[in-house]
Amino acid sequence: MSFSPIILWTDALIYLFVAIVFFIVWYIRRHEHLLAQWKRVGHSASGMSALTVLIFFLAIGLLDTVHFRPALDHKNNQNETIYSVEVLSLLDVLVAPLRTQVEKTYSAPLAAHLYAKETIERDGKQVRTFARLQFGGAHLQDPDKEHSADITQLALKGLACGLLIWSVLSVGLIARLSHRSRQNFAPYLLAIWRRNTEIPWRAILITLLILLLIIGCITALAGHYHVLGTDKVGQDILYQSLKSIRVALVIGTLTTLIMLPFALLLGIMAGYFRGWVDDVIQYIYTTLNSIPSVLLIAAAVLMMQVYIETHPELFDTIASRADLRLLFLCMILGITSWTGLCRLLRGETLKLRELEYIQAAHAFGVSHWRVISRHILPNVMHIVLIATVMDFSGLVLAEAVLSYVGVGVDPSMISFGTMINAARLEMAREPMVWWALLAAFSFMFTLVLSANLFADAVQNALDPRIRTLRQRTVLSRFGKKEKSVKDNAPEATAAAKSSSHP
């Protein structure tokens, strides 16, 4: 199959973001003090389980980022290959049946008939009944009798395949970990089950098992049914949900890339230089906060839409036009959402610049920019990491809200917001179409919940105030035990020994 690779604007920025992440991982692994902080993130069972789910979403988003234009069967007069105007991705190729098997109109999840009655001709007579689907359950001879048994059989096959894949992956992972720790397989497996390992592998493996069971079941059923039903034009809801993941990830990651330079530069400058620099920066972000963000975003997106419509010659495909609007939406969200992080960095820098080692650097004549790069910036990075990870879920929800009110992504682009906007009218029809809204809500809820749990783990590991509070709590507990030793030595000593050996 011949194809022409296409790199959209958001694709290039995502590749840049992935390269930055790999560089940061490489840099952290070369510095022990940074690696020790991130190892504390790996000690959280909930955080690592959430990271496992996030990796699944990231894999789907990256597969949907590699775009190309397939070649058509015929050629032009110069015998040159003609490529389609439709832009596809690797995800579209992997889930091609979901994309191409389009029904006539609505169908319920795992159904074999349309959701609404229509007039069809049967035995020379016109009758009003539920018509058979063209693809969903088409392999059944008698859906009324075979439907339930067929779904059960396919689901069990999918669960068995998921369990088999999980078993192979688990055995390979445990064998590698036991070899690295120079232990036998069985003792290391027992240590994982008893949660005696540094990284909570038991929680990770349980989460991976649940994911693979769900994926196996859905994959087995998706080949013969529409697992989450179809929409008004017969398009598969599961396909729309998978395509919406990339838009949510793009909104969260690219907006962060655009927001960070403003927040870092202005926040540290305001706290470090103070005086008129601080006054100007405070005036800028106070004025920006006084403008309702929704109105500012709506005005900017509408202006961009007018430019796109008046210059159609600049865009070869519909996907490039929708991608430019998505990029512009990320830019507007980034410009309007840096103020909160900037305020946090300003306050932290005001505190850091008064510490002794900063004053000593000034006394030795160290330049301001060297003090900022060597002393201020490394000590505020925990705030940057925590704020960006926690803002990710808010940005995903912001896209859904903006697309719902019509100022979000392009209508031709599938996202959680456009799915919810389409489901708004479907909920009011009779009979009610509920599965599109439920699918969008379930995927978005899982993504946001995983991001929030991982953000909590990052905050607990990197925030020095939380670590100090925990150390004080531990010290106060030992202090009480030491006090009780004086009152009742035998009992207190036994209690102290039991508490010191978990």
* 87 in Cβ contact with 96 (< 8 Å): no
Whether the per-residue pLDDT at 239 is higher than 50: the answer is: yes
Is residue 79 a contact partner of residue 198, using CB atoms and an 8 Å limit? Answer: no
The pLDDT score that the predictor gives to residue 483 is: 40
- CA dihedral 395→400→405→410, nearest 10 degrees, is 90
Most confidently modeled range among 103-117, 205-219, 397-411: 205-219
Angle (deg, nearest 10), helices 237-273 and 435-462 = 30
Residue 448's nearest CA partner among 401, 408, 384 is: 401
Choice among 88-97, 197-206, 402-411 with the minimum mean pLDDT = 402-411
- Paired residues of 83 in beta bridges: 71
Strand 81-83 versus strand 67-75 pairing type: antiparallel
- Tens-place pLDDT, residues 306-336: 888 887 777 777 888 888 888 888 888 888 8
Residue 295 pLDDT: 79
Q: Can you list the alpha helix ranges (DSSP code H) found in 223-338?
A: 237-273, 275-290, 293-310, 318-336
The pLDDT assigned to 62 comes to: 92
Token pair of 12 as six digits: 């290039």
pLDDT at 290 over 90: no
| Residue 366 identity (one-letter amino acid) | V
Record the pTM.
0.81
Distance separating alpha carbons of residues 98 and 226, to the nearest angstrom: 8
Mean pLDDT of 93-100: 88
Amino acid identity at 51: L
Confidence class for position 482, pLDDT limits 50, 70, 90:
very low
Q: Return the pLDDT at 474.
A: 42
Which of 118-132, 264-278, 416-430 has the largest mean confidence?
264-278
Query: Given this model, what pLDDT does residue 407 score?
Result: 76
Q: What is the pLDDT of residues 7-32, one digit of tens each?
A: 888 888 888 888 888 888 888 888 78
422/406 Cα distance (integer angstroms): 11
What pLDDT does 216 receive? 92
Indicate the burial class of 318 (C-beta count within 10 angstroms; 0-12, 13-18, 19 or more): middle
- pLDDT at position 397: 78
The radius of gyration of the chain's CA atoms, rounded to the nearest angstrom, is 28
99 pLDDT more than 60: yes
Is the pLDDT reported for residue 487 higher than 70?
no
Q: How far apart are CA 149 and CA 135, in angstroms?
A: 18
User: What value does the mean pLDDT of the chain take?
Assistant: 81
Is residue 158 predicted with pLDDT exceeding 90?
yes
Reduced 3-state DSSP string for 364-408: CCCCHHHHHHHHHHHHHHHHHHHHHHHHHHHHHHHHHHHHHCCCC
Over residues 264-276, the mean pLDDT reads 88
The pLDDT value recorded for residue 401 is: 79
Q: Which pair of tokens denotes residue 99?
A: 């994309």
In this predicted structure, the answer to whether residue 262 has a pLDDT above a threshold of 70 is: yes
Give the pLDDT mean for 137-165.
Answer: 90
> What is the pLDDT at residue 208?
93
> 55 Cβ partners below 8 Å, 6+ apart?
none
d(C-alpha 240, C-alpha 8), whole Å:
20
Q: What is the mean pLDDT of residues 147-166?
A: 92
CA distance 273 to 262: 16
The pLDDT score that the predictor gives to residue 489 is 39
* Mean pLDDT, rounded, for 361-366: 82
How far CA 410 is from CA of 177, 233, 404, 443, 450, in Å, comes to: 47, 18, 11, 20, 27
Going by C-alpha positions, the residue among 258, 236, 283 that lies closest to residue 111 is 236
Residue 413 structure tokens: 């682009």
Task: Answer yes or no: are the C-beta atoms of 108 and 236 closer than 8 Å.
Answer: no
Is residue 101 classed as helix, strand or coil in its secondary structure?
coil
Q: Which two tokens stand for residue 23?
A: 């560089």
**Single-letter amino acid, residue 198:** E
CA distance 223 to 58: 24
- What's the Cα-to-Cα distance from 237 to each of 98, 101, 134, 416, 432, rounded to whole Å? 9, 12, 16, 11, 16
Q: What is the pLDDT of residue 218?
A: 93
Q: Residue 69 in contact with residue 7, Cβ under 8 Å?
A: no
Instruction: Kindly give, in sequence order, each residue whose CB lies less than 8 Å from that of residue 91, ignoring residues fewer than 6 positions away.
Output: 60, 63, 64, 242, 243, 246
Q: How far apart are CA 435 and CA 426, in angstroms?
A: 10
For the chain, give the longest Cα–Cα distance: 100
Whether the pLDDT of residue 440 is over 60: the answer is: yes
DSSP letter at 126 equals: E
Using pLDDT thresholds of 50, 70 and 90, give the confidence band for residue 77.
low
pLDDT at 491: 40
Q: What is the pLDDT of residue 297?
A: 81
* pLDDT band per the 50, 70, 90 thresholds, residue 157: very high
